[in-house]
Amino acid sequence: MDFIRNLGASTINYVSGMGNMALFLIKTLIYGFTPPLKVINLLKQIRFIGTQSIFLIALIGAFTGMVLSLQGYYTLNKVGSVAFLGPMVALSIIKELGPVLAGLMVTARAGSAITAEIGIMRISNQIDAIEMMGLNPFRYLVVPVFFAGIISLPLLTQIFDLIGIFGGYLVGVKMLGVGSGTYLGEIPNYLDMNDVLEGLYKSISFGVIISWVSCYKGYYTGTSGYGAEGVSKATTQSVVLSSAMILIWDYFMTALLF
């Protein structure tokens, strides 16, 4: 009997949690698309999510391209078609690795910080204080992060893509001796505008996922534990959930749309 009751309780918890998350997104969208928009907060969040992530994204992008080039050369060399190294690196980075890895890096760097920040505001009653002043915490905290995510992620992904392709160039051309013209010149033959757009759409949706999940988890800190423990739990959950959602959503987006 207890077992069945537990099962029922956790199912209700789970479903209401999902409903809560959906409502959170709808609320964010409603406040987001009605004025006023807090532009300074938005700029601050873009600086935090975007500008301050550039170095990390560039580093990860360069090494991703370099290792892809190295591995790709090894494989392509076996079938004697090293000429396809450029298209292989470019296509896999632009369509798949760029959006996903940039998304995961932003989750780890910015998503966790946003959850922790909003979570601490929650447990120290700062969010209640904002409400008491008659201000809307959504407009001040959530909406700027939401739009900053949507704006920053696609841009970071493009930076990642380009640096990745040139990282691959560095290894493929300078180290392994593929012709410079072969590497760069073959890319336009196999890369379409649709591939670039696919990466762009993916990264925009990942931006939504990251800002949505990390704000939601921060905003409802305290439901899974109180005080410092609650914040640490919320941060962990936010990183795990965003990363898992990015990878799962990535599969469905690739399968359904393209």
Partner 1 sequence: MKKFDLELAVGVFVLAGIVCLAYLSVKLAKMEIIGGDRYEVYAIFSDIGGLKEGSSVVIAGVEVGRVKSITIEDYEAKVVLSLSTDVILQEDSIATIKTRGLIGEKYLSITPGGSEEIIKPGGQIRETSPPVDYEDLISKYIFGEV
Residue 255 interacting with partner 1 (CB under 8 A): no
Long-range contacts of 30-34 (CB under 8 A, 24+ apart): 31/136, 31/138, 31/139, 31/142, 31/143, 32/143, 32/146, 32/147
Smallest distance, partner 1 to C-beta of residue 156, A: 7
Q: CB of 165 within 8 A of CB of 93?
A: yes
- Give the nearer residue to partner 1 in terms of CB position, either 54 or 208: 54
Residue 234 interacting with partner 1 (CB under 8 A): no
CB atoms within 10 A of CB 9: 10
Task: Kindly tell me which residue out of 25, 28, 31, 46 binds partner 1, with binding defined by CB under 8 A.
Answer: 46
Of residues 202 through 221, those in contact with partner 1 by CB under 8 A are none
- Give the nearer residue to partner 1 in terms of CB position, either 107 or 152: 152
Task: Kindly tell me which residue out of 10, 22, 47, 229 binds partner 1, with binding defined by CB under 8 A.
Answer: 47
Q: CB of 145 within 8 A of CB of 46?
A: no
Q: CB of 257 within 8 A of CB of 201?
A: yes
- Give the nearer residue to partner 1 in terms of CB position, either 44 or 109: 44
Of residues 64 through 93, those in contact with partner 1 by CB under 8 A are 83, 90
- Give the nearer residue to partner 1 in terms of CB position, either 49 or 171: 49
Residue 198 interacting with partner 1 (CB under 8 A): no
Of residues 109 through 168, those in contact with partner 1 by CB under 8 A are 151-152, 154-156, 158-159, 161-162, 165
* Footprint of partner 1 (CB under 8 A): 40, 43-44, 46-47, 50-51, 54, 83, 90, 94, 151-152, 154-156, 158-159, 161-162, 165, 187-193, 195-196, 200
